[in-house]
Amino acid sequence: MIPSLALARISSAASSPTSARPPTWPRYALPAFTLVSVLNLMFEVAGPRLAFDLTKPLLMPLLALSMLATGRATPRLLLGALLGAFVGDTMLLFSGSLFLVGMAGFACGTSETRPLGLTWFTLRLRIR
């Protein structure tokens, strides 16, 4: 076989859509969010405070990842609101001036969802 033909076959096989495997992380995003949510609630009720403080900041990034993993278009404003909630959750764990930063994070997150008509009682996450 001619070497240039062999290279052409290899390069065309590598660029074909059937050879590319989809990433496996999207199927773990929602179960990870669910697990951390349950652990966070358990730690808040009965567990050690340190475990609660470690799981609380993970909730909003995992929720954003699970929304992105669905493959549907996720509004940027909603992702911005989740970012504001992440800042709020993380900073409210501390006292002093960081508490005010946390309140500002929640305020930014709430104000970003208003143009979409997304408030806490109308937002429905569709889970397959």
Question: Residue ranges of the domains in the chain?
Answer: 26-116
| pTM, full prediction | 0.67
Which pLDDT score is estimated for 122? 47
**Residue pLDDT, tens place only, 84-119:** 889 888 988 887 888 888 888 888 777 655 555 555
Give the residues of the chain that fall short of pLDDT 70.
1-20, 22, 111-128
Residue whose C-alpha is closest to residue 65's, from 39, 108, 36: 36
Q: How far apart are CA 43 and CA 33, in angstroms?
A: 15
Instruction: Find, among 29, 32, 34, the residue nearest to 71 by Cα.
Output: 29
